[in-house]
C-alpha cells in the first residue's frame, strides 16, 4: 500500500526544536506530519538517551551508601532512569498525537524532491508532500578509526552503556571532552575503575589552564585515571575483556578493560535523508547548511538543532524553534545573530559551568583584563557548599578592567549549572561586576558566592 499525505508542515525528526514548532503549528490548525525513524526516540535525544537519563545517573551514582553493592545499586538506578525515560517518551508522543491536525509517523524519511518525502514504516510506504519542511534529525556518535575498535565486542556507545544493567568493572573512555568527563564521573561514582584517554596534552582545552587543572584534580582525586597525550593504536578482544594498546611520549602501554566507550564526538545525522534530491546543500562536515534564519538552500526547508552543525545543546534547538516560528507565524526578524552569551554546563561532580570569554580569549581580543577568582572552600559567603559537603572547585570571572563589564566566567562548584544562568543574564543586560557583587541573594545559597568572589580582584594586567 502506498498512501499520500498532504501537509502544511512536515517535520523530519522528533527532536526538541521540531516538536515545539509542530505543536505550535498544530494548535493553529495547520496540517502537520512528524516523522521519527525510531519509536524509542519520541522527544529526541535529551529525554531518551541524553540529558535526562545521564543526569538521573549522575544523581543516583552519589546516593549509594558504602555498604550498598555496586552492581545492585547500578542495576536499580538504570531501571529507575529508564522508567523516567519511558514516561517522558510516551508523554512527548501523546502531546503531539493529542492535537487533531498532527500526524506522527514512525519510519525512515527520504526526500524525493524539494516538497516530497517518502516514508518507509514497518508495514507501509507513504508519500508526504508539504509546503514547509523542517529537518530535525539530530546527531549520531563517531567511532574513531582505530584498528579493532569498531569490531570489538566490548565497544559501546553512550546509549548502549546507560541502558545496560551490568556495571562494567573496568571502563575505558576514549575522549576527554564533555561526554567523556561526564561519563567518567558517573561510572567512577558507581564503582567502576575508569581510565580516560585524551589525545591532547590536557583535558578541557578550551578552558584556561587553571580551570582545566582544577577539574583534572577533582577527577583524579575521585580515582579516575586520566591519560593525556594518548594515542590509542589498537583494540584487541581477549577471553576476559579487551586490551587497549596506546602510546604516550613515544612509549607503548596497554590496559585491559571490560567496556570501551567511544566519546570522540557526534556528527549531524544526515545519512539516508536524500538531501541531494531536494537540492539541500551540506557543509564539508556533513551538516545541513543554513543561513541566520535557519533556512537551507531551499528557502522553504529549515534545519534545527544538531543537524545544522555548531554547538550541540538541547536549549539551542529550542531557541532554533523560536527563530523558525517567527518565520512561519511572526515578523521574520529573529535570527541566530540575536543569540548571545550562551552558557554551557558540564555535569561532572561538582559541575563546571562556563559563559563568555576565557581569560586567554579576552587577552587575545586585546582587552585589559581584571580577574576575580577564589577556591570554593575559601568563599565565606557560600555556606551551602559546606552544608552539602561539596567544597571542591573554583569560581573565576574575567572582567573588563576599564568598563567593569563581565566578559566571561568559569564556575566549578556545587550548583554551578544554576548560578551560570544568573551570570549570563547579567552579561546580556550589561550589568557590571560591581552590581552583581552588591546584589542581594537568598541565604544560604550558592548564588551569594558572587558577593565574595566579585569583591576580590586578584590581578589586573595589561592585555
179 labelled binding-site residue = yes
> Is 260 part of any known ligand binding site?
no
208 is in an annotated binding site: no
Check the annotation: does 198 bind a ligand.
yes
The response to whether 180 counts as a known ligand-binding position is yes
User: Is 137 marked as binding a ligand?
Assistant: yes
Residue 422 assigned as binding residue: no
Q: How far is Cα 207 from Cα 230, in angstroms, rounded to an integer? A: 19
**Is 315 labeled as ligand-binding?**
no
Which residues fall within 8 angstroms of residue 86, CB to CB, at 6 or more apart? Answer: none
Q: Per the annotation, does 178 bind a ligand?
A: yes
DSSP-derived 3-state class of residue 235: strand
366 in a labelled binding site: no
Q: Is 86 marked as binding a ligand?
A: no
199 is catalytic: no
CA distance 133 to 117: 9
The active-site residue out of 62, 253, 300, 443 is 443
- Helix 314-329 with 16-27: angle, nearest 10 deg: 30
DSSP tag of 47: H
Count of CA atoms in the C-beta half-sphere (13 A) of 151: 8
CA distances from residue 96 to 18, 32, 210, 273 in whole angstroms, order as listed: 11, 10, 47, 23
Contact 16, 44 (CB under 8 A): yes
Find the DSSP H helices in 164-294. Answer: 178-190, 209-221, 275-278
Asked if 236 and 148 touch (Cβ cutoff 8 Å), the reply is yes
Q: Cell match 596497554: residue?
A: 254
Establish whether 408 is an annotated binding residue.
no
Asked if 304 contacts 317 with a C-beta cutoff of 8 angstroms, the reply is yes
Note whether 361 and 462 are within 8 A (CB): no
138 annotated as belonging to a binding site for a ligand: yes
181 assigned binding-site residue:
yes
**Active-site residues: which are they?**
443
User: Which residue ranges are tagged as binding site for FAD?
Assistant: 55, 137-139, 306
User: Which residue ranges are tagged as binding site?
Assistant: 55, 137-139, 175-182, 198, 265, 306
User: Which residue ranges are tagged as binding site for NAD(+)?
Assistant: 175-182, 198, 265
Amino acid at each position: 500500500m502506498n498512501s499520500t499525505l498532504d501537509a502544511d508542515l512536515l517535520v523530519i525528526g522528533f527532536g526538541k526544536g521540531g516538536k515545539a514548532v509542530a505543536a505550535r503549528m498544530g494548535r493553529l490548525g495547520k496540517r502537520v506530519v512528524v516523522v521519527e525513524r525510531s519509536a524509542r526516540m519520541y522527544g529526541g535525544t535529551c529525554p531518551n538517551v541524553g540529558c535526562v537519563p545521564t543526569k538521573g545517573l549522575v544523581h543516583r551514582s552519589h546516593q549509594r551508601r558504602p555498604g550498598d553493592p555496586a552492581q545492585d545499586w547500578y542495576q536499580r538506578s538504570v531501571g529507575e532512569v529508564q522508567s523516567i525515560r519511558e514516561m517522558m517518551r510516551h508523554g512527548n508522543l501523546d502531546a503531539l498525537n493529542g492535537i487533531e491536525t498532527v500526524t506522527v509517523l514512525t519510519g525512515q524519511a527520504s526526500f524525493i524532491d524539494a516538497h516530497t518525502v517518502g516514508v518507509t514504516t514497518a508495514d507501509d510506504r507513504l508519500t508526504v508532500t508539504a509546503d514547509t519542511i523542517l529537518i530535525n534529525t539530530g546527531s549520531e556518535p563517531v567511532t574513531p578509526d582505530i584498528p579493532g575498535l569498531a569490531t570489538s565486542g566490548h565497544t559501546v556507545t553512550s546509549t548502549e552503556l546507560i541502558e545496560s544493567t551490568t556495571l562494567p568493572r573496568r571502563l575505558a573512555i576514549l575522549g576527554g571532552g564533555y561526554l567523556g568527563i561526564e561519563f567518567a564521573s558517573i561510572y567512577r561514582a558507581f564503582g567502576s575503575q575508569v581510565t580516560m584517554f585524551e589525545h591532547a596534552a590536557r583535558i578541557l582545552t578550551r578552558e584556561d589552564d587553571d580551570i582545566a587543572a582544577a577539574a583534572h584534580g577533582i577527577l583524579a582525586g575521585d580515582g579516575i585515571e586520566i591519560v593525556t597525550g594518548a594515542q590509542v593504536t589498537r583494540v584487541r578482544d581477549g577471553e576476559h575483556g579487551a586490551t587497549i594498546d596506546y602510546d604516550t611520549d613515544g612509549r607503548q602501554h596497554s590496559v585491559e578493560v571490560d567496556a570501551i566507550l567511544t566519546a570522540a564526538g557526534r556528527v549531524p545525522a544526515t545519512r539516508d535523508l536524500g538531501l541531494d534530491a531536494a537540492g539541500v546543500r551540506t557543509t564539508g562536515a556533513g551538516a545541513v547548511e543554513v543561513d541566520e534564519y535557519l533556512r537551507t538552500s531551499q528557502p522553504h526547508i529549515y534545519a534545527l538543532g544538531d543537524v545544522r552543525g555548531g554547538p550541540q545543546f538541547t536549549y539551542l534547538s529550542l531557541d532554533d524553534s523560536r527563530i523558525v516560528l517567527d518565520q512561519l507565524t511572526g515578523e521574520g526578524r529573529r535570527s541566530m545573530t540575536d543569540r548571545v552569551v550562551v552558557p554551557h554546563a558540564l555535569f561532572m561532580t561538582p559541575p563546571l559551568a562556563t559563559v563568555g570569554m576565557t581569560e586567554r580569549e579576552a587577552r587575545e581580543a586585546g582587552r585589559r583584563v581584571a580577574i576575580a577568582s577564589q577556591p570554593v572552600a575559601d568563599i565565606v559567603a557560600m555556606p551551602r557548599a559546606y552544608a552539602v559537603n561539596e567544597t571542591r572547585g573554583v569560581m573565576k570571572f574575567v572582567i573588563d578592567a576599564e568598563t567593569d563589564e563581565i566578559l566571561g566566567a568559569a564556575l566549578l562548584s556545587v550548583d554551578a549549572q544554576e548560578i551560570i544562568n544568573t551570570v549570563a543574564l547579567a552579561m546580556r543586560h550589561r550589568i557590571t561586576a560591581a552590581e552583581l557583587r552588591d546584589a542581594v541573594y537568598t541565604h544560604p545559597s550558592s548564588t551569594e558566592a558572587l558577593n565574595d568572589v566579585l569583591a576580590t580582584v586578584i590581578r589586573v594586567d595589561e592585555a
